[in-house]
């Protein structure tokens, strides 16, 4: 399964891929139009896959957006995107690791990690650091539990920061990010 917005599609759309024989055995957990093939006074028959899991009117505009996003990424080239992402991640890990009182989490290996850097400041809470970056330089990072509460909570109960990089980012933007991060760290020394 994956979320469309992680690959430039609109929010509210994603893909679930499953084995047909397992999906046929599963029962729907939501109900709505077009899920039923037939209804009688005493029985109802689920529609064929995938319709039995698609309650109500589908998000048609987002489905077209997802298709366009996939075509766009294919046109650029997944290998080209991944190469650039690895270069940015390596660069970001190198420069962020030089900032005092910033601790980086994760593999720190661009070959095995996506374009993200997970980190914390030894004194500042994640949300405060994210807000400071936003207010000082209009830099947006994620902060908090990052949809991974068991993992993040085992490291820091108040959350961590996550900087993300993709094919549209540059090393110059990482430089701006790290310069601002250094200013904030110095301000709280």
> What are the Cα distances from residue 32, in Å, to 24, 43, 64, 140, 156?
18, 16, 22, 38, 41
The pLDDT value given to residue 30: 84
Cα separation, 184 vs 136, in Å, equals 9
Cα separation, 52 vs 25, in Å, equals 11
The pLDDT value given to residue 9: 98
> Tokens 């908090």 sit at which residue?
144
Question: How confident is the model over 122-150, as pLDDT tens digits?
Answer: 999 999 999 999 999 999 999 999 999 99
Question: How confident is the model over 23-80, as pLDDT tens digits?
Answer: 999 999 888 888 999 988 998 899 999 999 988 888 999 999 999 999 999 999 999 9
Exactly one of 1, 39, 60, 147 is catalytic; name it.
147
The pLDDT of 153-182, averaged and rounded, is 96
The pLDDT value given to residue 173: 98
Is-catalytic flag, 147?
yes
In the chain, what is the straight-line distance between the N-terminal and C-terminal CA atoms, in Å?
43
Q: How confident is the model at residue 177 (pLDDT cuts 50, 70, 90)?
A: very high
Output the pTM of the full model: 0.84
The pLDDT value given to residue 87: 97
Q: How confident is the model at residue 161 (pLDDT cuts 50, 70, 90)?
A: very high
- The percent of the chain in helix, strand and coil, each rounded to the nearest 5, is 45, 15, 40
Closest among 166, 171, 148, 177 to 6, alpha carbons compared: 166
Question: How confident is the model over 83-101, as pLDDT tens digits?
Answer: 999 999 999 999 999 999 9
The pLDDT of 158-171, averaged and rounded, is 96
Q: Can you list the domains of the chain with their CATH numbers? A: 2-76 (no CATH), 78-187 (3.90.1150.10)
Do 12 and 19 touch, CB atoms closer than 8 A? no
The pLDDT value given to residue 44: 85
């Amino acid at each position: 399964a994956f979320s469309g917005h992680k690959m430039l599609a609109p929010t509210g759309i994603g893909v679930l891929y499953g084995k047909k024989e397992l999906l046929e055995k599963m029962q729907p957990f939501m109900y709505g139009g077009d899920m039923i093939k037939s209804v009688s006074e005493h029985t109802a028959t689920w529609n064929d896959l995938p319709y039995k899991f698609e309650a109500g009117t589908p998000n048609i505009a987002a489905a077209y957006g997802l298709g366009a996003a996939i075509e766009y990424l294919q046109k650029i080239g997944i290998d080209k995107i991944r190469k650039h992402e690895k270069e940015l991640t390596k660069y970001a890990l190198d420069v962020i690791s030089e900032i005092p009182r910033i601790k980086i989490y994760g593999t720190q290996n661009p070959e095995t990690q996506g374009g993200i850097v997970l980190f914390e400041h030894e004194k500042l809470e994640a949300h405060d650091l994210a807000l400071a970056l936003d207010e000082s330089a209009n830099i947006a990072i994620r902060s908090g539990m990052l949809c991974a509460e068991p993992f993040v909570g085992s490291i820091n109960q108040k959350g961590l920061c996550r900087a993300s990089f993709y094919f549209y980012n540059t090393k110059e933007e990482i430089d701006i990010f790290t310069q601002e991060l250094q200013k904030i760290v110095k301000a709280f020394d």
